[in-house]
Amino acid sequence: MTRIHPAPEQFAFTVGGLPPLATADVGEEIEVFTEDCFSGRLTSVAGRPREVAPFPRVNPLTGPIELRGVRRGDVVAIHLVALTPARDWGVSTLSPNFGALSGTRLSPNLQPETAEHVWIWSVDPATGTVRTRTANGRELAVPLRPFHGTVGVAPAHGEVRTSAVPDAFGGNLDVPALGAGTTLYLRANVPGAMLYLGDGHFAQGDGEFGGTAVEGAMVTRLRTAVLAEEHLAARDVDWPRMETDDEIIAIGVGRPLEDAVRVAVHSLVRWVSQSCDLAPHDAYQLVSQGCSARIGNLVNPSYTVSVSLPKALLPNRPVIMDGIHDRLRGHREVAA
């Protein structure tokens, strides 16, 4: 098993254009340490997010990890085996000019800005919750549900992007489904795919409306597989897809949010049509009557949505993505 724990100066704040931090074989298990989005420097409610982690020095990523033998055009599968909080605390913030209920740099207004707030959350595995206390003494507690806000590969067309951006290459998706037991499918845009992970979240509601999740450092074990570009099931993977034991999930990325939704629904319809030998309009109909559609983030430079369909609704028990997820997840306790 390859273990990757970057030195402080080794974290990446851009995606693409970097030499590999490590190299791994497709199929071997990889253990990765990821820092929180503030590089672990925001440790108290008195801390100043924009001083300890000034843009673009936010959201440090672990990677890139070169996957031996992966060709440009192949589809890479990343299965998250287990995510373990690396610390017993997490942190969340509200920042001026950021978040879904504020003007932003990309959608400015002339109103006075809101105040900055920081919450420190304690991780309580015993109760499966993260907890914090408000200034007026109320306790806020939400379920502990670790996932990675950011998992991606090098962008296409030689682009280099900041770690804040989600796109077809994955990146800062902030989709809560990306936790233990989930397989993420991404098209490789360069040889070796150049995988990276970061932005560990101990908890997050849909939309990440306040602008951050309960952010925390993470130790994550993952396995990878590859689906050759030539394979029929790889054909339509132009945007990120996820798979769990129970669902297939198409991820839409874009702005405005309608466009992210259209990308996801269009992607899911093609996925269902190809997997189940359904005409596009029949696949569209099945998706329309059976899907769930949840907002991933409404605060990043591009927004994300996840549109999912229970596998139980797919006619004739099709083989999904050549059965990669079932092979990667292995025996049942792994995802537990």
Please give the residues from 296 up to 325 whose contact with a second copy meets the rule CB under 8 A: 298, 303, 305, 307, 313, 315-316
Rounded to a whole number, what is the distance in angstroms from the first to the last CA of the chain?
Answer: 20
Comparison of 28 and 246: residue with beta carbon closer to a second copy? 246
Q: Should residue 120 be labelled a site residue for a second copy when binding is judged by CB under 8 A? A: no
> Which region, judged by CB under 8 A, interacts with a second copy, from 2-10, 46-54, 184-192, 280-288?
280-288
User: Using CB under 8 A, which residues numbered 11 to 30 contact a second copy?
Assistant: 13-14, 16-17
Please state, in angstroms and rounded to a whole number, the distance separating the CA atoms of residues 174 and 147: 9
Give Cα 251 distance to the centre of its chain: 10
Q: Should residue 205 be labelled a site residue for a second copy when binding is judged by CB under 8 A? A: yes
Under a CB-based contact definition with an 8 Å cutoff, are residues 194 and 16 in contact?
yes
Comparison of 212 and 244: residue with beta carbon closer to a second copy? 212
Q: Should residue 44 be labelled a site residue for a second copy when binding is judged by CB under 8 A? A: no
Q: How far is CA 4 from CA 57, 97, 226, 270, in A?
A: 21, 35, 21, 36
Interacting residue with a second copy among 29, 31, 206, 229 (CB under 8 A): 206
Task: Give min distance, CB of 116 to a second copy, in A.
Answer: 10
Q: Should residue 112 be labelled a site residue for a second copy when binding is judged by CB under 8 A? A: yes
DSSP string covering 247-264: EEEEEEEESSHHHHHHHH
Interacting residue with a second copy among 242, 286, 320, 321 (CB under 8 A): 286
- CA angle 135-139-144, nearest 5°? 125
Q: Should residue 243 be labelled a site residue for a second copy when binding is judged by CB under 8 A? A: no
Interacting residue with a second copy among 254, 300, 320, 329 (CB under 8 A): 254
Q: H or E segment at 236?
A: none
Interacting residue with a second copy among 2, 125, 128, 140 (CB under 8 A): 140
Q: Should residue 188 be labelled a site residue for a second copy when binding is judged by CB under 8 A? A: no
> Which region, judged by CB under 8 A, interacts with a second copy, from 19-27, 179-187, 220-228, 276-284?
276-284
Q: Should residue 33 be labelled a site residue for a second copy when binding is judged by CB under 8 A? A: no
Task: Give min distance, CB of 105 to a second copy, in A.
Answer: 8
Task: Give min distance, CB of 204 to a second copy, in A.
Answer: 6
Q: Is 334 helix (H, G, I), strand (E, B) or coil?
A: helix
Residue 256: exposure state from Cβ atoms within 10 A (0-12, 13-18, ≥19): exposed
Please state, in angstroms and rounded to a whole number, the distance separating the CA atoms of residues 68 and 20: 11
Under a CB-based contact definition with an 8 Å cutoff, are residues 90 and 35 in contact?
no
Task: Give min distance, CB of 209 to a second copy, in A.
Answer: 5
Q: Should residue 195 be labelled a site residue for a second copy when binding is judged by CB under 8 A? A: no
DSSP string covering 60-97: -EEEEEEEETPPTTPEEEEEEEEEEESSSEEEEEE-TT
Q: Should residue 136 be labelled a site residue for a second copy when binding is judged by CB under 8 A? A: yes
Please state, in angstroms and rounded to a whole number, the distance separating the CA atoms of residues 132 and 119: 7
Q: Should residue 269 be labelled a site residue for a second copy when binding is judged by CB under 8 A? A: yes
Q: Should residue 277 be labelled a site residue for a second copy when binding is judged by CB under 8 A? A: yes
What is the torsional sign of CA 273, 77, 180, 140?
negative
User: Using CB under 8 A, which residues numbered 46 to 105 contact a second copy?
Assistant: 55-56, 92, 94, 99-103, 105
Which two structure tokens, joined as six digits, stand for 243? 């798979």
Comparison of 92 and 224: residue with beta carbon closer to a second copy? 92
